Amino acid sequence: MAQKKQVILGIESSCDETACALVNEKGDVLSSVVWSQYDEHRRFGGVVPEIAARAHLEKCDILIRECLDKASLDFKDLSAVSVAAGPGLIGGVLVGVMTAKAIAFAHNLPFIAVNHLEGHALVARLSNPVKFPYLLLLTSGGHCQILEVMGVGRYKKLGATIDDSAGEAFDKVAKMLDIGYPGGPNLEKRAKLGNPKAFSLPIPMKGRAGCDFSFSGLKTAVRFQIEKMGKLTDKQKNDMCASFQTAVVAQMQDRLEHALKVFKKDFPNAKDLVVGGGVAANGAVREMLEKVAVKHQMIFSAPPMKYCTDNGVMIAWAGLERLRLGLTDSLDFKARPRWPLEELDSKK
């Protein structure tokens, strides 16, 4: 009798998307469901943690059943259940973790607590032949880091933001410009219509030693420009979006160039440059990364756009990568609002 293929259920509820997915051992996505809370948070101009947690509680069970039905599977067909157990908004994380624990207990399945950031870090391997080690730019609404990825659970941070993340800066500038929520995608759309040289904005950290980022000063420079000009026309808003995005991308490129020198010294034969996280969906960021990869004779890989923002597929895939190594967790695992990737091996 042929051995049953492994199928992993992944659950994601760390911010404002409730998501689940089923992925098999070959990397086939059997089903994926994402329910966004944009409408719930739009009038507040950002994510409200209490509202997010309640929405996850209302939708999680429904989406899991929908996911199973789409794949024509049931809980008895699963090999394990994985869940984003942090970092994130703790109310939402707890909803996902408790749901996953209940499923694991009721159906006698292995339980896998996935670091949300590891989900972003590994998902490019789902659709690309990316080999360890590789250099990763992890950039999202809550994080902006450059890491050496040596293997599952093995990360070395080369640089990180010392204040805002790139995604957070995108959202805050969008709010200043009153261009609607979600800020990052709206800002990118307007940037395509604007003149990137219209405003002279600083590029923080450019030329400095190390690989750290800083976006707070750039954000403040935008605010000063807006206050000086008063009410902006649509054209001026587009120009500001283009100028801001150009400055962000220029800083990312500078920091990445520094990181590549370190990475090539540490791993002379490694060839993969990977991006992950919500800001990885930004076209200007991807274009820059492609050029940097060519310049340094690297192979650039990115997840499909739909797997850049929070989703269940990345959690299921990370769970599968961990399951292959026998890395499962007990049901007394505690959800973590903060969980640096460098602490992943300790799992404390």
Enter the tokens of residue 292.
């940097």
Which pLDDT band, with edges at 50, 70 and 90, does 346 fall under? Answer: very low
Residues 43-82 pLDDT 10s? 777 788 788 899 999 999 999 999 999 999 999 999 999 9
Pairing outcome for strands 299-301 and 272-276: parallel
Whether the link from the prior residue into 110 is cis, omega within 30° of 0, is: no
pLDDT of residue 105: 98
215: Cβ–Cβ under 8 A, 6 or more apart, which residues?
144, 161, 163, 164, 165, 166, 168, 169, 204, 248, 251
User: Quick check: 261 and 288 in contact, CB under 8 A?
Assistant: no
pLDDT of residue 3: 54
Mean pLDDT of 181-198: 95
pLDDT of residue 46: 73
Helix (H, G, I), strand (E, B) or coil at 94: helix
Mean pLDDT of 205-213: 96
Residues 75-101 pLDDT 10s? 999 999 999 999 999 999 999 999 999
Mean pLDDT of 174-203: 95
Q: Report the side by side order of strands in the sheet with 80-84.
A: 29-36, 17-24, 7-12, 80-84, 111-114
Mean pLDDT of 317-325: 97
Which pLDDT band, with edges at 50, 70 and 90, does 41 fall under? Answer: confident
Residues 249-298 pLDDT 10s? 999 999 999 999 999 999 999 999 999 999 999 999 999 999 999 999 99
State yes or no: pLDDT of 2 exceeds 70: no
Which pLDDT band, with edges at 50, 70 and 90, does 217 fall under? Answer: very high
Query: Domain-by-domain residue ranges, the chain?
Result: 7-122+307-343, 132-301
| Of residues 111 and 348, more confidently modeled | 111
| Of residues 228 and 39, more confidently modeled | 228
pLDDT of residue 223: 97
Tokens 């800020």: give the residue.
Answer: 183
CA distance 27 to 7: 10
pLDDT of residue 76: 97
CA distance 289 to 301: 9
Residues 104-160 pLDDT 10s? 999 999 999 999 999 999 999 999 999 999 999 999 888 999 999 999 999 999 999
pLDDT of residue 4: 66
Mean pLDDT of 198-227: 96
> What share of the chain has pLDDT > 70, as a percent?
97
- Establish whether domains 7-122+307-343 and 132-301 are of one fold: yes
CA distance 192 to 48: 29
State yes or no: pLDDT of 163 exceeds 80: yes
Mean pLDDT of 313-341: 96
Query: Residues 164, 217, 227, 231: is their CA dihedral positive or negative?
Result: negative
Whether the link from the prior residue into 182 is cis, omega within 30° of 0, is: yes
160: Cβ–Cβ under 8 A, 6 or more apart, which residues?
143, 144, 145, 146, 212, 213
| Residue 208 neighbours by CB distance under 10 Å | 12
Pairing outcome for strands 80-84 and 111-114: parallel
- Please report, for the chain, how many H helices and E strands are present, in that order: 11, 10
Q: What is the pTM of this model?
A: 0.94
> What share of the chain has pLDDT > 90, as a percent?
88
State yes or no: pLDDT of 313 exceeds 90: yes
Which pLDDT band, with edges at 50, 70 and 90, does 37 fall under? Answer: confident
**∠86-78-111 over CA atoms, to 5°?**
35
Domain 7-122+307-343 has CATH 3.30.420.40: yes
Which homologous superfamily does the CATH classification assign to the domain defined by 132-301? Answer: ATPase, nucleotide binding domain (3.30.420.40)
**∠53-8-153 over CA atoms, to 5°?**
80
As a whole number, the mean pLDDT across the chain is: 94
